[in-house]
Amino acid sequence: MKNFARALRYAWPYRGRLILSFLCAILAANLWSLCFTSITPVLAIVTTRQSLQDWIDEQIAETKKLIDGDQKKNELGLAKELDRANEIENRLVAKIAREGPNEEIEHQRRDNSRLLTRLEDKLSDARSDIYRQQLARKFIYRLPKDPFQTLALLLGVLTAVVAVKGVFEFFQDSLVGSVVNLSLFDLRNRFFRNAIHLDVNQFSEQGSSELMARFTNDTELLGQGTKTLFGKLVGEPLKAICLVVLACFISWQLTVMFLVLVPVALFILNKLGRAMKRATRRLLERMSSIYKILQETFQGIRVVKAFTMEPRERQRFCNATKEYYRKAMLVVNIDAFASPIIETFGVAAVVGALLAGAYLVITGHTHLFGIRMTDQPLKAPALLQLYALLGAIADPVRKLSSVYTRLQSGAAAADRIFACLDRQPRVKANSEGPRLARHQSHIEYRDVCFSYEPGRPILTNVHLRIPFGETVAIVGHNGSGKTTLVGLIPRFYDADHGSILIDDVDIRNANLRSLRQQVGLVTQETILFDDTIFKNIAYGNRRARREEVEAAAKKAFAHEFILKLEKGYDSSIGEAGSKLSGGQKQRIALARAILRDPAILILDEFTSQYDAESEEKIHQALKEFMRGRTTLVITHRLNTLEVANRIVVLEAGRIAAVGTHRELMAACLPYQRLHEAQFRRLCA
Ligand code: ADP
């Protein structure tokens, strides 16, 4: 629940709306319970066929009779009884004064005092009753005299009250909905801001589909939890409390009888809530695996089709959704279980109170098992009113029963969201650090060791010094650590040991933004965004002018084919993407790097998708582009290797040799083997 409480803090900026919604809920709840008080007058009119005026007069007469007594029946009223008790008191006091303290008189006096207090209480209650009845009388005498008209008026008022209540409920729902959605909006943005600053390898640990599930499905469930909380937690208990208070006016003892089952119901709800949290966590995990399968299948659709693996993928998806269905049914059943259980408890409690009440009505007693239940014998309409009030509590209580389970669902989602949100990038942005001046001297790997997981070194004691302007090619078997080695420069991750210096500044001490602004990266896997070609080239250089973008595209040999597209530079990648070849997409990526004019250029197997025809041109463009900047290129292409000033041979994370193509061919056995195995095949 701690994380759920943290999620609720996102609603704090919108507390004004929340308070307003609470006010609406309070008003709606009061109006709702007010409707139930109409039962007594309606019943009075229907059963006695009296007008309300006669009825209120009768009520007043009865209360007066209680106070003043009935001479015909020789009954003393409360007032007279009180006078008599006062007389007795005076007599007893006088007797004590005359005869001195006497145990028997003291005893009589104690009994009399108790009677006095009870009579005083009753008299004051009766007087306040009469005051209220007089007030009601004034109002009732303004109503029509005919019983049917009075009834119609009462029911008309009832309908109007329900309509007004509906207006308040609408505003409450709308306000709560806006608070929930606004706080989800803030939470998602905060989450995205956090996620985008995570390290590159934290993404691969987490899995992008897993993250996407948390952004969509989990936040949605959290939203449902908060909506239930804000929407139901004020209005529904308030309705129940209003009804309990009204019921207490009729007989608080019978109402307490009804309430004894509340702790038992709470205990059961607590158990169900815990089960719900567990079930929801599993449900969300299953949804994450569905996202994963979707992402893998759609991204790798070519492979799936080429290997005719559609049936397998279908089966995999079917299994995942079946699993999800099972977990979803568990959640549904727990949720559905809460409501009838609470309802049964509610009815059992009402039945208990009703039986006791009915016994009092039938026998005309005021005591049950020796306990006083009502001051005066209970009448049938009062019992029916009590029953209606207690029965009506079932509705808010049933709604409340789902609140706890839904909150627990939201709490499970909040746990998963905050587990991601709390992740801190290991690479610190160092935004206060000194800005790195444009690289112009050298890059140095100084005794660099790196591992993704403890105990599995990927790079070991790498020493390498690259003067400014040099082109260094990196070769080695798959998994020898080439990508890792170049990824250390833009600080996708930091070295575990040793350091990397650019112009003698340890990159960890420099401002991260200023470092990355100097690096141009073109990878084998072309990443284009769903935007126009112009914006894709200008990515990272948003203020670039049209001529600059076109000049960069020309240098990357992309200008011609872009112009052939229907909307030229304004064609969207989404529409044109399917018409572009892998090589064309790579040229757009190259134009993007050229426009950025980086001091350090990293090419990771970049040329692998070029067709033979444009290869020579691209090679020329690259040679041109590499001039005046330091380039690290991972490649197996002979023509690139020949233009490289030096070639670094990596073997299992160690530098096996450094030299030119000629030197290595002459003296380096691993390089020769690599050449034999790969280069010949590639060049053939
Ligand atoms: P190369 O580019 O030479 O093929 P890489 O630098 O990509 O090699 O990978 C070197 C080793 O590091 C491989 O064994 C690979 O499995 C491992 N590796 C790469 N990225 C990660 C990662 N994010 N987490 C864990 N291991 C990784």
Tell me the C-alpha distance between 301 and 309, whole Å. 10
- Beta carbons of 507 and 500 less than 8 angstroms apart: yes
The minimum-distance atom of ligand 1 relative to the CA of 634 is: 2
Residue 243 token pair: 């009804």
201-228 pLDDT per residue, tens = 777 766 788 888 888 889 999 999 999 9
CA-nearest residue, atom 14 of ligand 1 = 479
Residue 636 Cα to ligand 1 midpoint, Å, equals 18
Q: Is 270 exposed, middle or buried (0-12, 13-18, 19+ CB in 10 A)?
A: exposed
Which of 452, 521, 603, 633 is the best mutation target for the ligand 1 pocket, counting ligand atoms within 8 Å of the beta carbon and taking the most?
Answer: 452
Strands 471-476 and 646-651 come out as: parallel
- Beta strands across the sheet bearing 600-604: 519-523, 600-604, 630-634, 471-476, 646-651, 654-659
The pLDDT score that the predictor gives to residue 681 is 59
443 bridge partner residues: 466, 502
Tell me the C-alpha distance between 545 and 553, whole Å. 13
368 bridge partner residues: 371
The minimum-distance atom of ligand 1 relative to the CA of 478 is: 4
Identify which of 133, 136, 141, 91 has the alpha carbon closest to the alpha carbon of residue 112: 91
Looking at the predicted structure, is the pLDDT value of residue 187 above 90?
A: yes
Amino acid (1-letter code) at residue 5 = A
Residue 611 Cα to ligand 1 midpoint, Å, equals 27
The pLDDT score that the predictor gives to residue 414 is 94
CA-nearest residue, atom 26 of ligand 1 = 452
The minimum-distance atom of ligand 1 relative to the CA of 604 is: 2
Residue 203 Cα to ligand 1 midpoint, Å, equals 14
357-413 pLDDT per residue, tens = 888 888 877 777 777 777 667 777 778 888 888 888 877 887 787 788 888 899 999
The helix/strand/coil state of 140 is helix
Residue 479 Cα to ligand 1 midpoint, Å, equals 6
Rounded alpha-carbon distances, angstroms, from residue 679 to 638, 666, 683: 7, 16, 6
Which of 198, 199, 204, 484 is the best mutation target for the ligand 1 pocket, counting ligand atoms within 8 Å of the beta carbon and taking the most?
Answer: 484
Which of 450, 458, 636 is the best mutation target for the ligand 1 pocket, counting ligand atoms within 8 Å of the beta carbon and taking the most?
Answer: 458
CA-nearest residue, atom 5 of ligand 1 = 481
Residue 612 Cα to ligand 1 midpoint, Å, equals 29
Strands 497-502 and 69-70 come out as: unpaired
pTM of the model: 0.74
Tell me the C-alpha distance between 405 and 331, whole Å. 9
Tell me the C-alpha distance between 276 and 282, whole Å. 10
Tell me the C-alpha distance between 575 and 566, whole Å. 10
- Higher-confidence residue: 302 or 591? 591
Residue 257 token pair: 């009888």
CA-nearest residue, atom 24 of ligand 1 = 452
Hey, what's the torsion of the CAs at 640, 641, 645, 649, to 10 degrees? 140
CA Rg, the chain, in Å?
42
Tell me the C-alpha distance between 72 and 379, whole Å. 23
Identify which of 527, 524, 656 has the alpha carbon closest to the alpha carbon of residue 603: 524
Looking at the predicted structure, is the pLDDT value of residue 683 above 50?
A: no
Residue 522 Cα to ligand 1 midpoint, Å, equals 18
Q: Where are the strands (E) in 250-387, listed by range?
A: 367-368, 371-372
Tell me the C-alpha distance between 317 and 500, whole Å. 45
Residue 481 Cα to ligand 1 midpoint, Å, equals 6
Residue 103 Cα to ligand 1 midpoint, Å, equals 101
Q: At what angle do helices 78-99 and 52-68 cross, to 10 degrees?
A: 10
Residue 599 Cα to ligand 1 midpoint, Å, equals 26
- Beta carbons of 434 and 246 less than 8 angstroms apart: no
The helix/strand/coil state of 307 is coil
Helix spans in 197-218 (H) = 200-206, 208-213
The minimum-distance atom of ligand 1 relative to the CA of 484 is: 6
Q: How many residues does the chain have?
A: 684
Tell me the C-alpha distance between 380 and 40, whole Å. 10
Rounded alpha-carbon distances, angstroms, from residue 128 to 31, 70, 135: 24, 20, 11
Residue 230 Cα to ligand 1 midpoint, Å, equals 48
Residue 287 token pair: 């949804």
Please report where in the chains the tokens 């709470």 appear, as a residue: 266
Looking at the predicted structure, is the pLDDT value of residue 611 above 70?
A: no
For residue 78, how many C-alpha atoms fall within 13 Å in the half-sphere facing its CB?
Answer: 18
How many Cβ atoms sit within 10 Å of the Cβ of residue 239?
25
Per-residue DSSP letter, 635: -
Residue range 295-313: mean pLDDT, rounded: 86
Residue 585 Cα to ligand 1 midpoint, Å, equals 25
132-149 pLDDT per residue, tens = 889 989 988 888 888 788
Identify which of 321, 319, 385, 387 has the alpha carbon closest to the alpha carbon of residue 349: 387
Residue range 522-538: mean pLDDT, rounded: 82
Residue 32 Cα to ligand 1 midpoint, Å, equals 65
Residue 201 Cα to ligand 1 midpoint, Å, equals 10
Helix spans in 556-659 (H) = 559-564, 573-576, 582-596, 612-626, 638-643
Residue 483 Cα to ligand 1 midpoint, Å, equals 7
CA-nearest residue, atom 25 of ligand 1 = 452
CA-nearest residue, atom 18 of ligand 1 = 452
The minimum-distance atom of ligand 1 relative to the CA of 200 is: 23
Tell me the C-alpha distance between 137 and 131, whole Å. 10
The minimum-distance atom of ligand 1 relative to the CA of 481 is: 6
326-343 pLDDT per residue, tens = 999 999 998 888 878 887
List CB contacts of 459: < 8 A, sequence separation 6 or more: 448, 449, 450, 451, 481, 484, 485, 488, 495, 653, 654
Looking at the predicted structure, is the pLDDT value of residue 684 above 70?
A: no
CA-nearest residue, atom 16 of ligand 1 = 479
The helix/strand/coil state of 259 is helix
Ligand 1 binding pocket, CB closer than 6 Å: 201, 204, 452, 458, 476, 478-484
625-657 pLDDT per residue, tens = 888 899 999 987 777 777 788 999 998 889 988
The minimum-distance atom of ligand 1 relative to the CA of 201 is: 23
The per-residue b/e assignment along 633-658, b for 16 or more CB within 10 angstroms, e otherwise, is bbbbbeebbebbebbbbbbebebbbb
Tell me the C-alpha distance between 675 and 684, whole Å. 12
CA-nearest residue, atom 19 of ligand 1 = 484
93-132 pLDDT per residue, tens = 888 888 877 888 888 888 888 888 888 988 898 899 899 8
The pLDDT score that the predictor gives to residue 327 is 93
The minimum-distance atom of ligand 1 relative to the CA of 485 is: 6
Amino acid (1-letter code) at residue 401 = S
Residue 640 Cα to ligand 1 midpoint, Å, equals 23
Tell me the C-alpha distance between 162 and 187, whole Å. 37
The minimum-distance atom of ligand 1 relative to the CA of 487 is: 6
CA-nearest residue, atom 7 of ligand 1 = 483
Residue 300 Cα to ligand 1 midpoint, Å, equals 20
The pLDDT score that the predictor gives to residue 682 is 54
Tell me the C-alpha distance between 536 and 626, whole Å. 21
446-497 pLDDT per residue, tens = 999 999 888 889 998 999 999 998 999 998 888 889 999 999 999 998 899 8
The minimum-distance atom of ligand 1 relative to the CA of 453 is: 25
Residue 492 Cα to ligand 1 midpoint, Å, equals 13
Which of 483, 489, 523, 648 is the best mutation target for the ligand 1 pocket, counting ligand atoms within 8 Å of the beta carbon and taking the most?
Answer: 483
Mean pLDDT across the chain, nearest whole number?
85
Tell me the C-alpha distance between 523 and 604, whole Å. 5
Rounded alpha-carbon distances, angstroms, from residue 413 to 1, 40, 194, 218, 633: 10, 47, 17, 5, 44
Residue 482 Cα to ligand 1 midpoint, Å, equals 8
The pLDDT score that the predictor gives to residue 485 is 92
Looking at the predicted structure, is the pLDDT value of residue 608 above 60?
A: no
CA-nearest residue, atom 1 of ligand 1 = 479
Tell me the C-alpha distance between 360 and 366, whole Å. 6
The pLDDT score that the predictor gives to residue 672 is 84
- Beta carbons of 489 and 445 less than 8 angstroms apart: no
